């Protein structure tokens, strides 16, 4: 019902009506379906972009900011890093990347062990092509058993440093499931590419790691081992 308006004109002004809520959110920050930003909480790990940068992008641009993150990287200081190709959709990778990504000395694992339960199809999430960089990968100083006569100059045991390095480099180059990119023997940096993820790298059976990963008992593949006995084999899980 209108209210009378003075002035003798007998007109009416409409009563104010309550506004109906908009079907569209006015800001990404209040959208009930807005995804959460992934994070790494384990000491020594980092992300590029950082969690803070991703959160800021989400506030500015909404969900689309997480659907196409270019050259997303997860690393661990002094151990290595993974950089995924192109644009990565982070909307469905979960917030706790600690459970999905493990970087230990000489080895990288993504969606391995218990995390395999929520491993996405190839090409989605973090299960897509990437370049891996591992640090502190040095040729063993102890003798290595030769697997190829062309490297055997000392009765089956490689004593000469150049021979050891030749065998070591060759096995890095031919590690199953990986595409060799580069190896820097001075700084101990090994780079390789993978088409998808599980577990790749070196099985340093005589070396301990401070993470105490719960997946250590999982048999994800033969690995690339450098044991005290001088044997070394390459491998990766599918």
Active site residue: 198, 205, 208, 231, which one? 198
Query: Which residue from 117, 123, 50, 36 is spatially nearest to 84, judged by alpha carbons?
Result: 123
Identify the three-state secondary structure at position 110. Answer: strand
Query: Which residue from 196, 234, 208, 222 is spatially nearest to 111, judged by alpha carbons?
Result: 196
The sheet carrying 107-110 orders its strands as 101-104, 107-110, 199-203, 224-225
Q: Give the strand pairing for 199-203 and 224-225.
A: parallel
Look up 198 and say whether it is catalytic: yes
Q: Are 236 and 177 in contact (CB under 8 A)?
A: yes
Q: Are 198 and 204 in contact (CB under 8 A)?
A: no
HSE-up of residue 32 (Cα within 13 Å, Cβ side): 2
Active site (catalytic) residues: 198
């Amino acid at each position: 019902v209108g209210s009378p308006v003075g002035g003798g004109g007998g007109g009416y002004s409409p009563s104010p009506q309550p506004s109906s809520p908009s079907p569209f959110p006015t800001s990404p920050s209040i959208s009930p379906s807005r995804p959460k930003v992934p994070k790494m909480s384990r000491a020594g790990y980092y992300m590029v972009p950082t969690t803070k940068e991703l959160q800021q992008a989400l506030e500015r641009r909404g969900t689309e900011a997480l659907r196409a993150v270019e050259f997303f990287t997860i690393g661990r200081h002094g151990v290595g890093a993974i950089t995924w190709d192109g644009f990565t959709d982070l909307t469905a990778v979960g917030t706790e990347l600690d459970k999905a990504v493990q970087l230990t000395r000489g080895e990288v694992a993504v969606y391995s062990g218990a995390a395999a339960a929520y491993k996405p199809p190839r090409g989605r999430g973090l299960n897509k092509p990437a370049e891996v960089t591992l640090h502190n990968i040095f040729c063993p100083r102890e003798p290595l058993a030769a697997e190829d006569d062309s490297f055997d100059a000392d009765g089956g045991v490689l004593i000469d440093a150049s021979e050891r390095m030749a065998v070591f480099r060759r096995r890095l180059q031919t590690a199953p499931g990986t595409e060799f990119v580069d190896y820097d023997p001075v700084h101990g940096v090994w780079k390789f590419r993978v088409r998808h993820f599980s577990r790749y790298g070196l099985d340093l059976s005589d070396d301990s790691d401070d993470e105490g990963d719960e997946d250590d008992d999982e048999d994800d593949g033969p690995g690339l081992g450098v044991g005290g006995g001088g044997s070394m084999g390459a491998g990766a899980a599918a």
